[in-house]
Structure formats: C-alpha cells, structure tokens
A and B are shown apart, each in its own frame.
Chain A
C-alpha cells in the first residue's frame, strides 16, 4: 500500500511539473490553458489519491476524496471560464509562422 501511494504521489508530482512547464513555455494563451486545464487536474487527482491511500481508512481520507472531487470538477471549469472570457473578448488564436523558420520565439 505504501509503495502504491508513493508511486501515485511521484507520478502526480511529475504531471504537476509538466503542467507548470507548459504554462511557462507554451506560445500563447490557449496553449497555456490547455496545459493547465488537463495536466494540472490529473496531477492533483493522483497526488490526492496517493495521500488518501497513505492515510488509510479514516474520515479524513473521505474528506480528501471530497477535495479530489471538487478539484476535478472546478479546475477544468475555471480554466474553461477564463478561455471563454478570452475568446469572447476577441483574443486571437496563435498560429505557427508560415515562413519556414523553425527558430521563432516560443516564449512569446
């Protein structure tokens, strides 16, 4: 059980790191919303499930699963709300430059 919990915690932290990397490196707002909306949710789910497994059978484990449910529902919803606000405000979607140069600035 401890090994499984540790595995889930490490994999979840890896997904959190990927999400943070995507937020920093992706070229425009919608790509960043994509990174945060999915990878962050999966990382949080894995970390919280790992913590609940580590805690064992108790009331606080049930509450951890409740936190998990709230994060799993609200995090994509919040990201969607921000993306909707952006696209309704006429925020253009980024396209890769057509001139064949592979050296464009990804950090934008």
Chain B
C-alpha cells in the first residue's frame, strides 16, 4: 500500500507539472486562474498522501484543511478582482 501511495504522489506531482504548462501559455488570465485552482486542489490531495507517507496524517490533515480553505478564498478574490477590472476597461 505504501508503494501505491508513493506512486500516486509522484503521479499527482507530474499532473501539477503538466498544469504549469497551461498556466504559462494560457491565452487569458482566466485560463491561468483555472490552472491555479487545479494546482491548489491537487496540492490538497498531495498533502493527504504525504501525511500517509510520513506516518503523520493527524498533522498533515490539518494542513490540507487549511490549504483547501485558503485556495478557495484566494481564487474567489482573484476572480472578483479581474471581473471588476475588465468592466472598467
């Protein structure tokens, strides 16, 4: 089971690296925002996996909880910011 968790952690980190391609080339800022949200959600999964790999899930699950909340707040704030900015332009 530990091998499976390790393989999954490496796989998810590869997915994050592939998402960085869209964040780099994304034609509009909204594509980049979607990519950042996907990286954040994958990071939550990654944190839970790392907690099991290190045998300290009782600590890492709190980190995952905090990261999920902060990710949501950041994305919504950025979405509101770019919406208003485009309206004025």
Q: Which residues does A use to contact B, with CB under 8 Å?
A: 2, 5-6, 9-10, 13, 16-17, 19-20, 23-24, 29, 32-33, 36, 40-41, 43-44, 47-48, 51, 54-55, 59-60, 63-64, 66-67, 70-71, 74-75, 77-79, 81-86, 88-91, 108
Give Cα A43–Cα B8 distance, bound, in whole angstroms: 12
B-side interface mostly? helix
Given A16-B45, A23-B34, A78-B71, 9 additional A-B pairs, CB 8 A: A13-B8, A40-B41, A47-B8, A64-B48, A82-B37, A89-B86, A90-B86, A91-B28, A108-B27
A-side interface mostly? helix
Check B65–A67 contact: CB distance below 8 A: yes
Q: How many CB-defined contacts (below 8 Å) exist between A and B?
A: 139
